[in-house]
């Protein structure tokens, strides 16, 4: 048996910068090792015993970021193409099932807070807390930089049929550009605080925007005219957090920090329906494809399926923690992201959880569905994006 090596000499900080050379006389003992004996390269998280038994239902994990993820968007034309953005000031384009290809979206100087593909998948827009909007092609080549906002970009939305891009800013303004020509088209001013949510109506004729000033504004995109301002009783008392517009372009559903959700008639600017209040901030809302139902997710750990036509709750989907994001998969099923790091699938007709996808270690921030509806992609505060196969674990 070989004698153990002598103890190491005490560390001297002055030696830190000296070069050290080892020759054969310094070798105390040689040990032969097969490659099988070498340890696997693992993340710190994977070597933590607490995580070894964790279930991971994901089909593919993207680990290119080195900070929290805030946004994920799937291409509407390429079922494998995904974009992610996060707190490392980076965006990436990558492909499901192809770990060899990724294109870094460079140029942002602060967190990449929002991402959106154009309706035809030809362009991708990235918005940062640096106030910069960049436009890329589907290979990740920069096509243009759009400037204007004096604060961080809160959200991005494309016109449903053209290459016109809309962005809401922390500086209380909304900007619109022709992204193909990188040309400024209009700026919408009137909100008194950060513009937290917004979109074109599906027919492309109207813009709706919600703000931390507790108002919803309805605009004419061409003239920039503010057609309606929705505020005061019976509307929200605190800032708006989320917005969804019906496929008929007639109704806007908004959620607020005050736990309330309201349905507004876009043509009249009147509140026509008020959802039963939640006990905490509402973080996500979404009309079902049929428009007859909507989903409302809250930090109070509940997602409510609301019958718009009859003004009543159809189901309550209970979560383990706050609900952060949702996406409808078809007229009956939807997916939610939660602070507990799990992604869940729900049957809106019964309120039953039909699947739970595990793998993330921290809160889900964003969800997107692939163009062929085979994959659900989640972005998390744990720094990863994960791909789950729909019709997976029950």
**pLDDT per residue over 130-155, tens digit each?**
999 999 999 999 999 999 999 999 99
Does 174 have pLDDT greater than 60?
yes
Decide if 381 contacts 362 (C-beta within 8 A).
yes
Structure tokens at 35: 């490659």
pLDDT attached to residue 28: 46
What residue has token string 């900080």? 13
- Across the chain, mean pLDDT equals 89
Q: State the pLDDT confidence band at 253, using cuts at 50, 70 and 90.
A: very high
- Considering the chain, what percentage of its residues have pLDDT values greater than 90? 85
- The H-assigned helical ranges of 19-108 are 44-47, 49-52
pLDDT (mean) for 57-74: 97
pLDDT attached to residue 51: 46
| pTM confidence score | 0.86
Collapsing DSSP to helix, strand or coil, 211 comes out as strand
Does 379 have pLDDT greater than 60?
yes
Note the pLDDT tens digit of each residue in 7-53.
Answer: 444 444 444 444 444 445 544 444 444 444 433 323 333 434 444 44
pLDDT (mean) for 264-292: 97
pLDDT attached to residue 50: 44
Cα separation of 267 and 385, whole Å? 39
Count, residues in the chain: 394
Does 223 have pLDDT greater than 60?
yes
Collapsing DSSP to helix, strand or coil, 52 comes out as helix
pLDDT (mean) for 225-245: 98
pLDDT attached to residue 54: 65
Closest Cα partner for 54 from 362, 376, 394? 362
Collapsing DSSP to helix, strand or coil, 13 comes out as helix
Q: Calculate ∠ Cα 284-381-385, nearest 5°.
A: 90
pLDDT attached to residue 45: 39
Does 122 have pLDDT greater than 90?
yes
Note the pLDDT tens digit of each residue in 87-103.
Answer: 999 999 999 999 999 99
Cα separation of 364 and 382, whole Å? 8
pLDDT attached to residue 313: 96
Q: Calculate ∠ Cα 257-259-263, nearest 5°.
A: 100
Note the pLDDT tens digit of each residue in 313-366.
Answer: 999 999 999 999 999 999 999 999 999 999 999 999 999 999 999 999 999 999
DSSP class of residue 248 equals: T
Decide if 174 contacts 198 (C-beta within 8 A).
yes
Q: Calculate ∠ Cα 243-257-150, nearest 5°.
A: 70
């Amino acid at each position: 048996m070989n004698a153990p090596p002598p103890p190491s000499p005490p560390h001297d900080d002055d030696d830190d910068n000296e070069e050290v050379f080892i020759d054969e006389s310094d070798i105390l003992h040689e040990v032969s090792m097969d490659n099988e004996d070498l340890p696997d390269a693992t993340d710190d998280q994977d070597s933590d015993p607490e995580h070894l038994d964790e279930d991971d239902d994901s089909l593919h994990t993207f680990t290119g970021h080195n900070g929290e993820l805030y946004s994920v968007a799937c291409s509407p034309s390429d079922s494998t193409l995904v974009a992610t953005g996060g707190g490392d000031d980076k965006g990436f384009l990558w492909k499901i099932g192809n770990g060899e290809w990724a294109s870094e979206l460079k140029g942002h100087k602060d967190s990449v807070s929002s991402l959106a593909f154009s309706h035809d998948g030809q362009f991708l827009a990235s918005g940062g807390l640096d106030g910069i909007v960049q436009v890329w092609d589907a290979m990740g080549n920069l096509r243009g930089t759009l400037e204007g906002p004096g604060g961080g970009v809160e959200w991005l939305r494309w016109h449903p049929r053209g290459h016109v891009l809309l962005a809401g800013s922390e500086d209380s303004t909304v900007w619109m550009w022709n992204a193909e020509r990188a040309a400024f088209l209009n700026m919408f001013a009137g909100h008194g605080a950060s513009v937290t949510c917004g979109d074109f109506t599906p027919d492309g004729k109207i813009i709706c925007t919600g703000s931390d000033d507790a108002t919803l504004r309805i605009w004419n995109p061409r003239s920039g005219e503010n057609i309606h301002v929705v505020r005061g009783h019976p509307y929200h008392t605190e800032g708006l957090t989320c917005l969804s517009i019906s496929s008929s372009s007639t109704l806007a559903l908004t959620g607020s920090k005050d736990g309330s959700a309201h349905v507004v008639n876009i043509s009249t600017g009147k509140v026509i329906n008020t959802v039963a209040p939640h006990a905490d901030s509402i973080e996500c809302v979404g009309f079902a494809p049929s428009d007859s139902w909507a989903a409302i997710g809250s930090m109070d750990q509940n997602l409510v399926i609301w019958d718009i036509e009859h003004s009543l709750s159809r189901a309550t989907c209970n979560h383990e923690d706050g609900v952060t994001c949702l996406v409808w998969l078809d007229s009956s099923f939807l997916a939610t992201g939660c602070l507990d790091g799990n992604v869940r699938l729900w049957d809106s007709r019964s309120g039953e959880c039909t699947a739970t996808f595990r793998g993330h270690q921290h809160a889900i921030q964003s969800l997107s569905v692939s163009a062929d509806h085979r994959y659900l992609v989640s972005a998390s505060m744990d720094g990863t994006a994960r791909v789950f196969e729909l019709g997976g674990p029950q």
